[in-house]
Chain A
Amino acid sequence: MQWIPASALALLPLAACVVPTLAHARINVGVDEAQQRLFPGQKLTPSPVVLSDVQRDTMRALSSVREPFKSERIWRSSDGGWLIIDEVLGKHEMVKYALAIWPNGSIKGIEIMEYVESYGYEVADAAWRAQFVGKTSASPLKLKQDIPNLSGATLSCKHLTDGVKRLMVMYELALKDSK
């Protein structure tokens, strides 16, 4: 193990301070890659559903998620499983994720596609939030440099758990019995 505190970095030759490329890594998993990671080798067919107002009300009542759900981002796997893409906006984080469901209705896996940990002044800004909600591949997020090695107090993933809960309600209401 070798540790050089930031306070000591000023004393080092400049070359030692160059930020390695790993610091520029970024969570940016596309739809194809998320599908591949969750359903390796399987063909996925788009299977959008139309949700009734009653179904949407039930989803809202049984989860604490208020954002509208975009029901066109649903796929069916060749073995009868499901893949759903959704977003959650927490107080501190914005997460786009893919949920995979086994044919028997249990959770197969969750892959984070985009993750933005925002700072107080950003998250309060409606325009900044708007670039996340409903974004398409044609409008990439305006992110600052990404930092993989960020230490700090642990942020709970409760908002994501709530989002998954809503999708499982939707599965029960709209997907489970579809042929």
Chain B
Amino acid sequence: MNAMRPLLGTYVRISMQGAAPALCSTAMNAAFDAIARVQQLMSAFAADSDLGRIQRLAHQHAVTVHPWTYEVLQLAQDLHAQSEGLFDPGVAPQLAAWGLLPNHRKSTSSSSITQLTLQGGQVRSAGPCHLDLGGIAKGFAVDRAIDALQAHGIARASVNAGGDLRVFGPEPEPIYLRQAHHQPPELAGLLQDGACATSSIEYSQQHHAGRCISALVHPHKHTAVRCADSFSVIAPLCALADALTKVLALTRDSTLPCFAYFGAQAFITPRT
């Protein structure tokens, strides 16, 4: 059974094999519900999302968040530490300045995931913060959808959120890579029980005030990736694959220790 719904700002597709239609239907709804829940919790567009509340209130008092939000923030801090600060949802002010994110009420000139202190399910911020979880939440949503499918006893499936995907099942699945819009997809490899995410500036690239910008921003230099290559990461979890593509795009170095640390493999496909 195949189903596709618009979520997370893109087209999310779930494919299942080998289960009865009634079970597929229930599992599919649970998986889409999990994705919608992640979207609701971590949206940069809704003031009452967990992320919205952290940005409004966490510098004044501790904010209790959903366990999933807490998990994403913990993972984001770990990724920040392991990547020497190259993964940082604190690039949001730059994205907002370029019009790629809604402008935050109390927009700060610089922000970082390191401003947050996480303790006992609560979040505090050292100062006003502006974060974008867009570089990790999509992958995390895919992971929650996979959990939902497995909890319903589905044995073989894939969840693909606009190019960030995860597969599980008894056999390796072929993973294709769409490098550029004008090119047909190519086989990247076979993947079993793992995730693949790809970042490139193919769709986010645009001009702002005479400069070429994209959604891939360097947290220290505040500059955008302008290289047209595709940056892919294979990892056990889609949240990791999603986040690590940003590190790969910024460094263009697939041998960084953080990839091995998270059990991931990185590869760059040059634009032809």
The interface of chain A, by Cβ under 8 A from chain B, is 1-9, 16-17, 19-23, 25-29, 37, 92-93, 95, 97, 109-112, 115, 117, 119-121, 147-157, 160-161
CA distance A16 to B160 in the complex (A): 23
* A-B CB proximity, top 9 nearest: A152-B178, A120-B182, A1-B194, A112-B4, A153-B202, A154-B162, A5-B189, A2-B192, A153-B200
**Chain B residue contacts of A2, Cβ below 8 A:** 172, 190-194
In the complex, are the beta carbons of A6 and B187 less than 8 A apart?
A: yes
In the complex with contacts A2-B193, A115-B4, A152-B198 CB distance below 8 A:
yes
In the complex, are the beta carbons of B199 and A153 less than 8 A apart?
A: yes
In the complex, are the beta carbons of B182 and A119 less than 8 A apart?
A: yes
In the complex, are the beta carbons of B201 and A151 less than 8 A apart?
A: no
Question: Quick one: which of B143-181 are within 8 Å of A by CB?
Answer: 156, 158, 160-165, 167, 169, 171-179, 181
Q: Is the interface of B mostly helix, strand, loop or mixed?
A: strand
CA distance A74 to B163 in the complex (A): 32
Q: Which among A20, A25, A95, A120 is the interface contact of B171 at CB below 8 angstroms?
A: A20
Size of B's binding interface in residues, CB under 8 A: 63
- Using A21-B17, A157-B9, A160-B6 as known contacts, list a sample of 14 further A-B pairs with CB atoms less than 8 Å apart, ordered by residue number in A: A6-B189, A20-B172, A109-B5, A147-B185, A148-B158, A149-B160, A149-B191, A151-B178, A152-B177, A152-B198, A153-B199, A153-B200, A154-B203, A156-B9
Q: Which among B11, B172, B201, B232 is the interface contact of A155 at CB below 8 angstroms?
A: B11
**Chain B residue contacts of A7, Cβ below 8 A:** 189
